[in-house]
Structure 1
């Protein structure tokens, strides 16, 4: 096998299409000429390697670019997603929680248990030390705090949609609040989301047609309870620890006017061909492994990361970090919360989870490729309306957007093929046929050569055998 392979290598070097190789393999040339061509070939190979390495580095650093472009009057503009989340009332409790405490602890109303249950119901209010401060001394008594099934407990105690949202309208056109605001358990607590991909999709009957038809579209919401309103992208989730547009209406009779601006982000088709690491973002359908959420977003990725961090330290995670229960990530019970408080992982600092801190708790979270630039322009709350119990908020676009961002790919897969092929062709005279030629010589040609050698050996053996038989016959005849 060795000698046929060596012969095939010599044959390839003598006849291959790569520039200079045939001169190196030609033993009829003087040694100085062969060394000269060997030096030229090595120099060309090194040059092509350096250029390809530079191209790969530039590809990583500048695979995409973001430009600013003008919108035409005919481009469609859509109102951003809105989330309405329950929050604590001004007096610090809710009728449902009061009824639960009275029925569970009939002998004496326990305010410590009430506070603990409220912290579970409104997890954005939960602080490290709440479980130990309000429940630790009650262990083993009739007044001990609930220890398990926090998800089921909060599902029973939170308000329904008809109480949270009483009236809804867009541009003075009323619509059915509870038909379009879909409930979802979020890190903030129980929320009702309008046009969110986390619990809805554009083809659903619950997807609200939110196209902006005039220059000052306004969404008006009226509620009977204290709420916090978030304006967010359709793939995001409400999370108090991440910066965003939000306003709280907790005082009865309070009205808030919130003005926002929107700069849309669109992507060229070629952007998807660039890997997320090079383009620096992920599309909503590029979901991370083991994610608890339906689509990808930066906020969802951070929440998944916090849940995984809690699992690492205490083998459980707080129930509100997952929209639905998971067998592989159990909800924390009372002992689990004590563990998280001890490890200070109830609500870790978001800055420590970002990719650049030097610790072992960072998250590989990229921005969403489709997130728009949402900004709060102004927020105004006139004095409370006396005798009015309902709260309201009006969210309006300060003006119709006239520009938007566009993410475009600077280099695609075709550019990679063309550039690398051009470099190899310029320095080495290589082409796709050169690769086919290499494969051909060391597969089909090698196989045929081996078969020919074996055939020649068989023919030669027959000739030798016939000669021996003929010689033996002649010797016998002479005798």
Structure 2
């Protein structure tokens, strides 16, 4: 192989001396041009034609031997340097290095600051873009219109086909559209009335006369003795606090004060002396009353199969005792003082049956005059109900009649607004007890009304709520404020204040009415006997009259009557406007 470099350009002729010519013959390579010949010629003297060929990127070139004639030879040639062997003075060989021509770098993006700004779109391009958007919008509207026409023509709902049927004029289509609107309005209005009925009154109270089937609850009662303070304990208290009683008059006033405080209720608020507090803070009234109370310990006996218990309880009439009650223990002083909020076990409810005959219960050893309130086992005495007062020397027999109402188990699936009643475990809104009772709800309503008007509550209420809040107890000034609104508190009706208790009746409730009572003098003290002679011949039951299934049937009948469609027609609507709509709009 023979490679020759021939440069016949005038530039090469001027830059090359006559004695130095470039010729490569055979295996010897002679370089006759000087290093100046590697410099590029001037711009004005360049011309086309064959020139010096340089191959950048060659990894390794031929290594040439030293020419004995003294000419230059190339020893190595790389992309970096080219080593040239040249005879120097005294016949020594010297090596020179020249910079070889490198491969030009690949293209790189110019810096951001040197980027040319994008040319603004021409008016023709903007117009063409708007035209394309307009065409897409027209095509989309056409697809939607075709889809709606397809749905109307294929729907199973009566009347829809005439809105898109061919051959009908505009008046006919509007007439059918008006008919469909009237049908839809009728369906919506009647369905709203049906749903309102389901939400407000789905229950019915029916009468059951099969008296041999059910059991009747035995009447419960609450006994409030007139004597509540022990005089000996009062004397001990006066001796233990001589700094509070400087004179005999102060001691007599304190005796009168503590007796009236123990019997304080909304009816006799004005009888309490309000001139002196004797150093007793209002939040200690209840503690002092239980410290000085008279030991009232009656005994109870009954002819019922289930044993009855008597519990001490705190009521709006003071310290009382309840028999056969399921809620009395939640108002006991020990339960309040322990800070307990748990549900207590009261045992089985005492019931009687007509086949049991006459059954009486008796309280003996009362030892004082007393007031009696008859109520159901799941309730407490209310100040607005009738009370009976009996002396301490009479043996009294009370005969009662019962009227009970029970709620069907199916009604438990409904909410309280639909039932218009509450079970005892539905106590979410109660703040002082963990169970619900109509009487307890009314008591809390009176308590919060007194707190709102006077800023405090009477001492016979529990002043610590379930959320941990502690309410202030009324002192002498607070009781003076309660005297002004006592009639409104008792009746829970007011023209000056807004009172909304939102108390619902008990779902399982028992009401007892005194049929007759008789008293005779008894030398062994006050005794009370009560029971049921005439068993109730009817019972009220709260049953479900209008369930959710009835709502579906009623509304389905309306839709079928006015539009002639069924549940599958609504499924068809859902299918058309989901899967089929996506398919028509976005799939070819």
After TM superposition, the score normalised by the length of structure 2 is 0.63
CA distance in 2, matches of 1:431, 1:101: 85
Unaligned runs of at least 5 residues, structure 1 = 457-479
Residue 217 (structure 1) aligned to one of 356, 359, 375: 359
Residue 438 (structure 1) aligned to one of 548, 556, 573: 573
How far apart are 1:219 and its partner, in Å?
A: 0.7
CA distance in 2, matches of 1:75, 1:203: 26
Q: Per residue, is there more helix in 1 or in 2?
A: 1
Distance 1:40 1:379, change over 3 A: same
> More relative contact order in 1 or in 2 (CA 8 Å, sep 6+)?
1
Preserved CA contact (<8 Å) 1:127 1:347: no
Deviations 1:449-476 (A, max 9, x none): 4542xxx6xxxxxxxxxxxxxxxxxxxx
Please name the residue that 2:314 is paired with.
185
Preserved CA contact (<8 Å) 1:128 1:346: no
Preserved CA contact (<8 Å) 2:375 2:511: no
Structure 1 residue 135 and structure 2 residue 236: aligned?
Answer: no
Kindly report which structure 2 residues correspond to 1:77-476, keeping only aligned pairs within 5 A, or say none. 77-88=216-227, 95-97=232-234, 99-104=236-241, 105=244, 107=246, 108=248, 110-124=251-265, 127-130=268-271, 134-136=273-275, 138=276, 143-159=278-294, 163-165=296-298, 167-171=299-303, 180-199=309-328, 204=345, 206-207=347-348, 209-212=350-353, 214-222=356-364, 223-239=366-382, 241-244=383-386, 246-249=387-390, 251-287=391-427, 289-322=429-462, 327-334=468-475, 337-338=478-479, 340-341=481-482, 344-345=485-486, 348-350=489-491, 352=493, 360-383=498-521, 385-386=522-523, 388=524, 390-452=525-587
Please name the residue that 1:460 is paired with.
none
Preserved CA contact (<8 Å) 1:84 1:230: yes
The aligned length equals 430
Structure number with greater Rg is 2
CA distance in 1, matches of 2:231, 2:154: 88
Structure 1 residue 39 and structure 2 residue 178: aligned?
Answer: yes
CA distance in 2, matches of 1:255, 1:323: 38
Deviations 1:149-205 (A, max 9, x none): 223223333355xx332x211128895x7xx22333222223333333325699936
How far apart are 1:392 and its partner, in Å?
A: 1.1
SS state at 1:372 partner: strand
CA distance in 2, matches of 1:150, 1:156: 10
CA distance in 2, matches of 1:275, 1:231: 30
SS state at 1:361 partner: coil
How far apart are 1:236 and its partner, in Å?
A: 1.0
CA distance in 2, matches of 1:261, 1:39: 63
Distance 1:12 1:301, change over 3 A: farther
How far apart are 1:208 and its partner, in Å?
A: 6.1
SS state at 2:254 partner: helix
CA RMSD, 1 decimal:
3.6
Structure 1 residue 23 and structure 2 residue 162: aligned?
Answer: yes
CA distance in 2, matches of 1:8, 1:199: 70
SS state at 1:405 partner: strand
How far apart are 1:58 and its partner, in Å?
A: 5.3
Unaligned runs of at least 5 residues, structure 2 = 1-136, 331-342
After TM superposition, the score normalised by the length of structure 1 is 0.76
How far apart are 1:352 and its partner, in Å?
A: 0.8
SS state at 2:265 partner: helix
Deviations 1:52-88 (A, max 9, x none): 3443565577533333222343532331223233434
How far apart are 1:28 and its partner, in Å?
A: 5.3
Preserved CA contact (<8 Å) 2:431 2:465: no
How far apart are 1:345 and its partner, in Å?
A: 4.9
Distance 1:86 1:330, change over 3 A: farther
Preserved CA contact (<8 Å) 1:83 1:194: yes
Distance 1:174 1:285, change over 3 A: closer
SS state at 1:419 partner: helix
SS state at 1:73 partner: coil
Distance 1:55 1:211, change over 3 A: same
Preserved CA contact (<8 Å) 2:312 2:329: no
